[in-house]
Structure 1
Amino acid sequence: MMWFKKGTFSGKQYRDETSQKISWGHWFAFFNIIIAILIGARYAFLIDWPDTLGGKLYFFVSLFGHFSFSVFAIYLLVIFPLSFIVKNHRTFRGLTVILSTICTTLLLFDTEVFHRFNLHLSSVVWNLLVNPENGEMSRDWQIFFAPMPMILLVQMLFSRWSWEKLRSLERQKWLKKVGIFFTLTFIATHLIYAWADAYVYRPITMQRSNFPLSYPMTARSFLEKHGLLDGEQYTQKLEREGRLDALKIDYPKNKLSFAPMAEKPNVLIITVSGLRYDAISNGKMPKLAEFATSSTQFTHHYSSGNTNSAGLVGLFYGLNANYTDSILSNHTPSVLIEKLRAEKYQFGLFSATNFKESLFRQALFRGMKLPQSKLGNESAVKNFNKFMMARKTNEAWFAYLNLELQAKNEAEYDRTLGQIDRLIEDVLVNTPLNNTVVIITAEHGVTFNEMNEKERFNYFGRDEIQVPLLVYWKDLPVGIVEGLTSHTDVLPALMMNLFNVQNPLNDYSQGRNLFELKGDDWVLVSNYRWNVLIQPNGMQYHIDRKGNYKKFDRTYQEQSSKRPPLGLFLDVFKRENSFFEK
């Protein structure tokens, strides 16, 4: 008992010192909240700034609410327990200063990562930037740790000053009011976002990923359960207009200019949804195989995604499929279609599904009268043939024929291939091939593996994403091209070789010129969650928005891989976000 009274760890002394450290911790946390908010304000210059007053106000509410909560959460989880564990106040303050310096430096580092790649820090991104295969790049990023000594000095000075002035600071009453303000902004951040998410208010929902460690609340299930939200109607709206957190798109980056055209070639594009890379053969599709012998056949060609819309975005926009939702929500037109309209091409648009994909009506052919007819491939081909009979023979034309290959198993798939083969033969027989570019491909392939919806969304096997590509054009050599190619390479080829665009390629596409016939070093297949990098040998590297990483071989067997191809991922990140508006 005497030891307890005389010891440095006595009851009253311990309580007083702990109380003092806790009180100091409140002021130190407040100081770091201010620093975090000032650094976090930089995201305002990095994000797609909202157009509406409500969106702008939400940014500032979320700025105060998110960073005040994040800093105070670190205080509660780390610093507050240290107040009881570490007896020496100098050691306690030293540990707190070091932790605060590290967190502040990482936040500063994250703003630059977000600026360059539109991503926040994760373990994979950290390894990519700090220890890349390119040593020069590593030195470039190490510069952002240069302010660390200055941050440490500022933290130390405030730590010492606030400890010495603690009694005076404790008499201040306004800190409690500021705390209430920060608490209210944090609550408001989540309530406002939940409202915006339920009522599809995009100037707010597109700010979902503005800040690191940000997970705003949604209340769809609650509202739907209480009859305040029609779930089916809500889902249809998202399918029609794209995901709520889709960013604005800057496409094309600059106004396109064109050199005069010596002649206007006709263009026919045929897509068969579900057509796999191995479908064109004498045994399965003899007529199309025969046509391939007079065309340029790309045998290692990949779609831009594993859905119809994802494939169409690559084909008609020359962009990665992760732009799909942005194109939908912003009703972005294709530079190819805009050029065809400017040149007054005759349009013939035909679909076996009556253009059921939202991309057609919301963006690609928005404002154009799309024909309504019976569903089915036969009806679409019949209407195409009518168009060819009725068109003006002295004017250039563009035709798009969208067919669908439906099959429940491989036997039915093989039978359906024969039907599709005969229909495409009918199309080609009625198409004058002189001065006509014919492109035949698929939005994506089809797999017969048993999977649920979530598994199918995450599936990128060759049967799903590798598709055939035939191009018939008088200026292309007949033969087989084995180089790696992608849907994003088609639009640049048409814009450069047919329409003489003068702008650099990165003004309007993320692909390369397909007609250079050299093949790509790698291609990117994606959806809004996954980026899949494919190399010429068929090896696949998957990385998602949260930094999860996987590796698959050519047969889609997952491989063990602790170290991702950091240099390749760096190229992917640079190209992936180049058309998002900032």
Structure 2
Amino acid sequence: MVDSGNTYRDKVSQLISWGHWFSFFNIIAAMLLGTRYIAQSGWPETLLGQTYQLFTWIGHFGFLVFAVYILIIFPASFIIPSQRLMRLFAVLVATAGLTALLLDIYAYQTLHLHLNPLVWELLLSGEKTDMNAHWQYLFVVVPAIFLLEIAMSEWVWRKLRKLSRKRVGVPIATVFSLCFIGSHLIHIWADAFLYSPVTAQRSNFPISYPMTAKTFMEKYGLLDRQEYQARRDELGQQDSEVIRYPLDSVSFASNANSYNQNLLVVMVESLRADMLDPVVMPRLNEFANNNAKFEHHFSTSNDAMAGIFGLFYGLPGSYAQSARTEGLSPLLIDTLDNKKYAFGLFSADNFSNPIYYQSVFGKHLDTAQRFEEKASWLADDQATDALNTWVNASDTKAPWFAYLELKSVTNYEQGGDYTRPFQPSLDNELASVGDHTALVLKNSYNNAAYYVDELLGDLFDSLEANGQLDNTIVIVTSNHGTEFNETGSNSWGANTNYSNYQLQVPLVVHWPNKAPQVIEAYSSHLDIVPTLMESMLAVDSPAELYTSGRNIFELADKPRKWVLAGDSRDIVVVQPDKTTVVDKFGNYRVYDSNYKQQPEGKPQLSVLMQVMHELKRFYHPEEQ
């Protein structure tokens, strides 16, 4: 098409018409590149999930490209007078857009994240890694994209009159609009009714923010908020991916049947690491001194559910929602079941945390002993006595697995009729004095820990008296710690920050025929499963098939440099000198060893790359 000196209005009209068609072909190009997200995320199994993905693929990329046109190219059509200059500008914008899309695809395939502050930090880091080397190769294709855009621009300009006569613009726009609106309507319904094949796709594409309308639906009687919350609590978070766990079947050593040690796991909820001392918990401390004591042990989260998950699955807390949604039982529990272990499950609150009955213990909870609802300190005493009775009545020829969950430390504010050597506490008149708040709460917490210590001491004595300790592995730990604002950030209790007060917990391990030892190396709840699978159950398959942890008794020779924690919202990397927290939007914060934020702190690329790999390894096993 030759410019014949049309008026300004005619030139603008031509450029707008050209811009529409140029944008349409760029939508097609973006959709073709977008198939990489679908290949990476997988094809849904249900018809509605497949329909939603198809509608989103068409509607979302149509919206993204058309938004760029409306916001940038369309206004420029009125400002830039020359059609050649205007087309060059549009080509540059399109080239930049497709290049950014390629970078996002690479980040999604490599880290399973879209472009965000963390990804840019990783890409622009000066560290020499394979990722930095590979992503720079992407810019080799930028000239090719630029040339293709020029060719597309020229072809559309020459064919503009013929394309305009086809009058297919309205039908094409209608298809994109219906797909865009339809995808959001489907997601509104899926979000309200917790339909996971749809909600699990909410982050498949870049800059994707599917619509929700729970408040609107509630206002017009289409949704019962209380019923919705109850269903959500029951089912867990539904926007989770399908995991493959374990990655492959595990095998056992030829002499595995000769391993028949009993296993007792004691979970003292909310017990922080510094409670393990001769003053607050003297009997547990004595028990630790005669066995294996881990000085720097960390839970997988500051949250109860994710902490329990990490202990039994050996996987980071980010996988918890997927396992919970699918009702996926831990390999450790399945193995104990297959080896005909007798199960004895005792909890002061009857395993009220959904992670227990949805995935960890499942059918085994049908045989768990139930206790009357009462004060935590009484329930703890009752549960400990019931465990002791069950162990003494067990068939000595059959190995057993027992789990004891104690709640007095978590519910320390309730107090109880037990010895309270630490004063002033909540039962003291000084408890109402504002200046003593932290001291009063901490003393009440110490008193609860002191009481639990008495229960544990009596339990250990009983096990030793009846000869059970000689053939029983005993693990004492906690799901997370507790803070009393020691960081000065107005943080109390748990699930408020990722300081050592909330993440670091005790770990005491009694292993028959092992000499007492103190292990200074950093350990994690992730390490419990591989330790038991290898050293107790004689699994000879690589631990990488079923866990992110390592055998705790090998850490002294090969200490880890960092510990992974967090949940579905945050990624937490704990190192001796700093803690790095990355939220789900890619924003990161770096704290020193005292959990003081370092404004100039930067994440370590090599470590974060290992972390990202571990967080997606069981979602995408084909990449191993």
TM-score (norm 2): 0.88
Q: Which residue of 2 aligns with 1:528?
A: 568
Q: Which residue of 2 aligns with 1:462?
A: 500
| Conservation of the 8 A alpha-carbon contact between 1:33 and 1:67 | yes
| Conservation of the 8 A alpha-carbon contact between 1:43 and 1:111 | yes
Q: Which amino acid aligns with 1:209?
A: S
Question: 1-side partners of 2:189 and 2:598: how far apart?
Answer: 43
Describe the SS at the equivalent of 1:46: helix
Note the C-alpha offset of 1:520. 1.6
Question: 2-side partners of 1:377 and 1:54: how far apart?
Answer: 48
Q: CA RMSD in A?
A: 2.0
The structure-2 alpha-carbon separation of the partners of 1:249 and 1:155, relative to structure 1 and needing over 3 Å to count, comes to same
Superposed counterparts of 1:394-543, under 5 Å: 394-404=397-407, 405=409, 406-408=411-413, 409-431=441-463, 432-449=468-485, 457-518=495-556, 519-537=559-577, 539-543=578-582
The counterpart of 1:389, out of the listed 379, 387, 392, is 392
The counterpart of 1:258, out of the listed 252, 260, 265, is 252
The structure-2 alpha-carbon separation of the partners of 1:355 and 1:278, relative to structure 1 and needing over 3 Å to count, comes to same
Note the C-alpha offset of 1:566. 1.6
Q: Which amino acid aligns with 1:428?
A: F
Describe the SS at the equivalent of 1:430: helix
| Conservation of the 8 A alpha-carbon contact between 1:246 and 1:326 | yes
In the alignment, does 2:322 pair up with 1:326? Answer: yes
Question: 2-side partners of 1:192 and 1:132: how far apart?
Answer: 44
Q: Which residue of 2 aligns with 1:50?
A: 44
In the alignment, does 2:285 pair up with 1:289? Answer: yes
The counterpart of 1:575, out of the listed 614, 617, 623, is 614
Counting aligned pairs with the same residue, the percent is 39
Question: 2-side partners of 1:528 and 1:350: how far apart?
Answer: 28
Superposed counterparts of 1:230-309, under 5 Å: 230-259=224-253, 260-261=255-256, 262-309=258-305
In the alignment, does 2:342 pair up with 1:346? Answer: yes
Q: Which amino acid aligns with 1:536?
A: P
Question: 1-side partners of 2:402 and 2:461: how far apart?
Answer: 15
Describe the SS at the equivalent of 1:275: coil
Note the C-alpha offset of 1:220. 1.2
Q: Deviations over 1:8-52 (max 9, x none)?
A: 9x9x72221111111110001001111111111222211143211
Q: Which residue of 2 aligns with 1:74?
A: 68
| Conservation of the 8 A alpha-carbon contact between 2:348 and 2:380 | yes
Q: Which residue of 2 aligns with 1:127?
A: 121
Q: Which residue of 2 aligns with 1:5?
A: none
In the alignment, does 2:81 pair up with 1:87? Answer: yes
Question: 2-side partners of 1:203 and 1:333: how far apart?
Answer: 21
The structure-2 alpha-carbon separation of the partners of 1:100 and 1:460, relative to structure 1 and needing over 3 Å to count, comes to same
Q: Deviations over 1:148-194 (max 9, x none)?
A: 22222211111011112212222121121100110111111111101
Question: 1-side partners of 2:129 and 2:445: how far apart?
Answer: 50
The structure-2 alpha-carbon separation of the partners of 1:153 and 1:387, relative to structure 1 and needing over 3 Å to count, comes to same
Question: 2-side partners of 1:135 and 1:394: how far apart?
Answer: 54
In the alignment, does 2:582 pair up with 1:550? Answer: no
The structure-2 alpha-carbon separation of the partners of 1:530 and 1:396, relative to structure 1 and needing over 3 Å to count, comes to same
Question: 2-side partners of 1:486 and 1:386: how far apart?
Answer: 31
Note the C-alpha offset of 1:439. 0.5
| Conservation of the 8 A alpha-carbon contact between 2:483 and 2:492 | no
Deviates more, 1:247-256 or 1:235-244: 235-244
Deviates more, 1:219-228 or 1:567-576: 219-228
The counterpart of 1:211, out of the listed 198, 201, 205, is 205
Question: 1-side partners of 2:105 and 2:244: how far apart?
Answer: 21
| Conservation of the 8 A alpha-carbon contact between 1:62 and 1:189 | yes
Describe the SS at the equivalent of 1:180: helix
Note the C-alpha offset of 1:476. 3.5
Q: Which residue of 2 aligns with 1:314?
A: 310
Note the C-alpha offset of 1:420. 0.4
The structure-2 alpha-carbon separation of the partners of 1:272 and 1:83, relative to structure 1 and needing over 3 Å to count, comes to same
Describe the SS at the equivalent of 1:420: helix
Note the C-alpha offset of 1:232. 2.1
Q: Which amino acid aligns with 1:118?
A: H
The counterpart of 1:371, out of the listed 337, 362, 369, is 369
| Conservation of the 8 A alpha-carbon contact between 1:132 and 1:567 | no
Q: Which amino acid aligns with 1:411?
A: N
Q: Which amino acid aligns with 1:424?
A: L
The structure-2 alpha-carbon separation of the partners of 1:193 and 1:453, relative to structure 1 and needing over 3 Å to count, comes to farther
The structure-2 alpha-carbon separation of the partners of 1:455 and 1:328, relative to structure 1 and needing over 3 Å to count, comes to same
Describe the SS at the equivalent of 2:178: helix
Note the C-alpha offset of 1:525. 1.0
Describe the SS at the equivalent of 1:559: coil
The structure-2 alpha-carbon separation of the partners of 1:180 and 1:455, relative to structure 1 and needing over 3 Å to count, comes to farther
Question: 2-side partners of 1:135 and 1:192: how far apart?
Answer: 41
The structure-2 alpha-carbon separation of the partners of 1:312 and 1:580, relative to structure 1 and needing over 3 Å to count, comes to same
Describe the SS at the equivalent of 1:510: coil
Note the C-alpha offset of 1:283. 0.8
Deviates more, 1:86-95 or 1:296-305: 86-95
Q: Deviations over 1:330-365 (max 9, x none)?
A: 111101001100110111111111001111101111
Q: Which residue of 2 aligns with 1:190?
A: 184
The structure-2 alpha-carbon separation of the partners of 1:36 and 1:455, relative to structure 1 and needing over 3 Å to count, comes to farther
Question: 1-side partners of 2:164 and 2:117: how far apart?
Answer: 40
Q: Which residue of 1 aligns with 2:34?
A: 40
Question: 2-side partners of 1:105 and 1:455: how far apart?
Answer: 46
Describe the SS at the equivalent of 1:550: strand
Question: 2-side partners of 1:44 and 1:285: how far apart?
Answer: 54
| Conservation of the 8 A alpha-carbon contact between 1:525 and 1:532 | yes
| Conservation of the 8 A alpha-carbon contact between 2:484 and 2:493 | no
Q: Deviations over 1:56-107 (max 9, x none)?
A: 1111011001100011001111111111121111111112111111211221
Describe the SS at the equivalent of 1:540: strand
Question: 1-side partners of 2:126 and 2:243: how far apart?
Answer: 29
Deviates more, 1:137-146 or 1:118-127: 137-146
Deviates more, 1:143-152 or 1:291-300: 143-152
Q: Which amino acid aligns with 1:109?
A: L
Describe the SS at the equivalent of 2:550: coil
Describe the SS at the equivalent of 2:294: strand
Q: Which amino acid aligns with 1:57?
A: T
Note the C-alpha offset of 1:565. 1.4
Q: How many residues align?
A: 572
Question: 2-side partners of 1:362 and 1:453: how far apart?
Answer: 30
Deviates more, 1:292-301 or 1:424-433: 424-433
| Conservation of the 8 A alpha-carbon contact between 1:130 and 1:142 | no
| Conservation of the 8 A alpha-carbon contact between 1:128 and 1:567 | no
Question: 2-side partners of 1:517 and 1:161: how far apart?
Answer: 64
The structure-2 alpha-carbon separation of the partners of 1:96 and 1:475, relative to structure 1 and needing over 3 Å to count, comes to farther
Q: Deviations over 1:292-335 (max 9, x none)?
A: 11111111111000111111111110000011111110111101
| Conservation of the 8 A alpha-carbon contact between 1:304 and 1:311 | yes
Gaps of 5+ in 1: 1-7
Describe the SS at the equivalent of 2:363: coil
| Conservation of the 8 A alpha-carbon contact between 1:48 and 1:247 | no
Superposed counterparts of 1:23-38, under 5 Å: 23-38=17-32
Superposed counterparts of 1:54-203, under 5 Å: 54-203=48-197
Q: Which amino acid aligns with 2:500?
A: R
